[in-house]
Amino acid sequence: MRKTLIAGNWKMNGSQAAIDQLLSSLKASLPERDNVDWAVFPPSTYIAQAQSMLEGSRIAWGGQNVCEHPEGAYTGEVSASMLVDFGCKYVIIGHSERRHIYNETNEQIAEKIVIAVEAGLTPVICVGETQAQFESEMTREVIRTQLDAVINHPEGKEAISRSVIAYEPVWAIGTGLTATPELAQDVHIRIRSYISENVGKKVADSMQILYGGSVKPDNATNLLAQPDIDGCLVGGASLDPTKFIGIGKCKN
Ligand code: 13P
């Protein structure tokens, strides 16, 4: 049985004061029902604040990115062991903003996933197609290529078996457009089958596959009702505690 994970990617938003308010509200309004796992992803400068406010709560925290190297002369980067040092459970890897704005490659992303798992983190591996790829019906091929880079890495199968996958169609991120629940379910089941064929059925059956892209309380019920959607990776709405908690409450 896969537990639902509701994850909030705050991206480059927040301040100490705003995060203090947001986390205090989240802690105070978390539903008593424990059918959902919760996680937030603050910018790296605020991970220590999240740790001090969330330790002992039911909300986990993680990094939005990690360096593919363990340590050394990589100015501006944050290592997997540093995230672990600040209590991170998860790390988002391969978000479309990293792929498209910072030109991260599939191979670099595979290295990051492997190093994160070696450090004890659970990667949230983001995959998804652009609008142009969607329109030319390339979704399946794009996602396979993104997954193949991980699967074909010598340590990749082991690493993917310890990861969460997030399907985030690029055209749905921050646009207000959402994949229909049927379309998202179709992509999710294809991802699960691909993992089953190339990594193993047991891994595929237990893997949490999240949907991301303009998730809000008013569209989350139908998304979370799909059999292969095991949670959501939420951007904008995760900055509003009522909306973020509201999304989790949509899970029956
Ligand atoms: P929005 O929910 O703002 O569309 O962002 C989705 C996302 O990129 C989460 O990682």
Residue 125 sits in a domain whose CATH number is 3.20.20.70
- Please tell me the pTM assigned to this model: 0.98
Q: Which domain holds residue 138?
A: 4-249
The number of angstroms, rounded, from the C-alpha of 172 to the middle of its chain's C-alpha atoms is 15
50/135 Cα distance (integer angstroms):
40
Ligand 1: lining residues by beta carbon, under 6 Å: 9, 95, 168, 173-174, 212-215, 233-237
Nearest atom in ligand 1 to the alpha carbon of residue 216 is: 2
Phi, psi of 51 (to 5 degrees): -60, -45
Residue 224, token pair as written in the block: 């979370």
- The one catalytic residue in 97, 111, 168, 188 is 168
Catalytic-labelled residue, pool 95, 97, 111, 129: 95
Q: Is position 95 annotated as part of the catalytic site? A: yes
Q: What was the pLDDT predicted at 177?
A: 85
Question: Looking at residue 1, what is its pLDDT?
Answer: 80
Cβ contact 164:123 at 8 Å: yes
Torsion angles phi and psi, residue 59, rounded to 5: -105, 120
Q: How much is the pLDDT for 77? A: 98
Residue bearing the CA closest to ligand 1, atom 9: 235
Q: Is pLDDT of 225 > 90?
A: yes
- In sequence order, the 6+-apart residues with CB closer than 8 A to the CB of 82 are none
* pLDDT score recorded for residue 252: 87
Checking if the pLDDT of 155 tops 90, the result is yes
Concerning whether 182 is annotated as a catalytic residue, the answer is: no
Domain count within the chain: 1
